[in-house]
């Protein structure tokens, strides 16, 4: 009973519309207070390496939610619509849509299925100078204007490309798309003391499922571990979520392994 009351109260607190409702770009249910704007969309005065890499990773995920920009209209003109007829609209402007959550493009999880484009990964950019990577983002494959992503923000995503990528083949089984390593007990400790503050001990306090479907931390970790790894290392875009970028990669893998054991179905009550 007490647990239910807490859950409802927390859900209400998260859903409470903040004073920033004038922010038309915010398309999430979890509106934030104006004080959180800087954390979610801004930059610290003296950015640490961990902050820079996570912020770059969020641009990679969804730059308009990450940076509080106008959502692009229509399909990205650079998107290979002749190759993939399933994807269209703003989503085709996301870096991950062409290069994959595992950064391997056509050689990774997007080698088949609804997100296939035949475009290569970005793992070739590992270790390259940030300036060189940055130039790519103004070429014909990348019709991003400075209003969409500024030069300074490009440096951020380029830093992520150069120094922030992880090789997901070391902890995800590519045949089954499931996590195949990690210390679940350590993951439990981290999850219960950090993630649970918002997602609940069982990961079901926030449900981002649409049209009657349910999507919890557990559901997503079991189905899309590569995507969840991006959220753990960089945070979800446009919301007030923490990330584990400042900690050893093994911590993130342990949380992912534990998250994949959390319930998939809604509570029965």
User: Contact positions toward ligand HEC, by CB under 6 A?
Assistant: 28-30, 60, 63, 76, 78-79, 92-93, 95, 97-99, 119-120, 122, 124-125, 133, 136-137, 141-142, 144, 157, 161, 194-195, 197-199, 206, 208, 217, 220, 227-228, 231-232, 236, 239-242, 244, 255, 259
Tokens 């922030």 correspond to what residue?
164
Sequence-separated (6 or more) residues with CB below 8 Å from residue 149 = 59, 63, 67, 69, 137, 157
Q: Which is nearer to ligand HEC, 119 or 172 (CB)?
A: 119
Please tell me the number of Cα atoms within 13 Å of 242 on its side-chain side.
Answer: 13
Looking at the Cβ atoms of 1 and 101, the one nearer to ligand HEC is 101
State in angstroms the smallest separation of the CB of 74 from ligand HEC: 13
Q: How far is the CB of 102 from ligand HEC (least distance, A)?
A: 14
Nearer to ligand HEC, 43 or 90 (CB): 90
User: Can you tell me the distance from the alpha carbon of 40 to that of 43, in angstroms, rounded to the nearest whole number?
Assistant: 8
Comparison of 1 and 140: residue with beta carbon closer to ligand HEC: 140
Phi/psi zone of residue 84: left (φ > 0), alpha (ψ -120 to 50 degrees), beta?
A: beta
| β-strand partners of 173 | 178
Closer of 110 and 161 to ligand HEC (Cβ):
161
Helix (H) or strand (E) holding 77: none
Task: Quote the least distance from Cβ 25 to ligand HEC, whole Å.
Answer: 15
For residues 97 and 225, what is the distance between their CA atoms, to the nearest angstrom? Answer: 16
Of all helices (H) and strands (E), which one includes residue 24? none
Q: State the nearest-atom distance from the C-beta of 172 to ligand HEC, in Å.
A: 15
**Closest CB 210 distance from ligand HEC, rounded Å:** 10
């Amino acid at each position: 009973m007490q647990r239910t009351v807490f859950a409802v109260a927390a859900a209400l607190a998260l859903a409470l519309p903040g004073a920033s409702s004038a922010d038309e770009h915010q398309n999430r249910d979890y509106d934030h207070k104006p004080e959180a704007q800087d954390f979610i969309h801004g930059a610290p005065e003296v950015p640490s390496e961990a902050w820079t890499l996570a912020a770059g990773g969020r641009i990679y995920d969804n730059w308009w939610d990450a940076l509080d920009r106008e959502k692009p209209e229509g399909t990205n003109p650079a998107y290979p619509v002749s190759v993939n007829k399933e994807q269209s609209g703003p989503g085709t402007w996301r870096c991950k849509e062409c290069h994959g959550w595992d950064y391997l493009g056509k050689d990774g999880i997007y080698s088949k299925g609804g997100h296939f484009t035949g475009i290569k990964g970005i793992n070739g950019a590992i270790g390259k100078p940030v300036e060189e990577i940055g130039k790519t983002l103004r070429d014909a494959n990348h019709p991003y204007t400075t209003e969409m992503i500024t030069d300074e923000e490009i440096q951020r995503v380029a830093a992520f490309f150069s120094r922030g990528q992880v090789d997901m083949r070391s902890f995800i089984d590519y045949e089954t798309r499931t996590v195949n390593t990690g210390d679940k007990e350590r993951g439990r400790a981290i999850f219960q003391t950090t993630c649970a503050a918002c997602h609940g001990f069982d990961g079901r306090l926030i449900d981002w499922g649409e049209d009657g479907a349910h999507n919890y931390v557990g559901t997503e970790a079991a189905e899309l571990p590569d995507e969840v790894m991006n959220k753990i290392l960089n945070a979800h875009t446009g919301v007030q979520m923490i990330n584990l970028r400042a900690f050893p990669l093994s911590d993130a893998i342990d949380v992912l392994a534990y998250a994949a054991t959390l319930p998939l179905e809604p509570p029965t009550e």
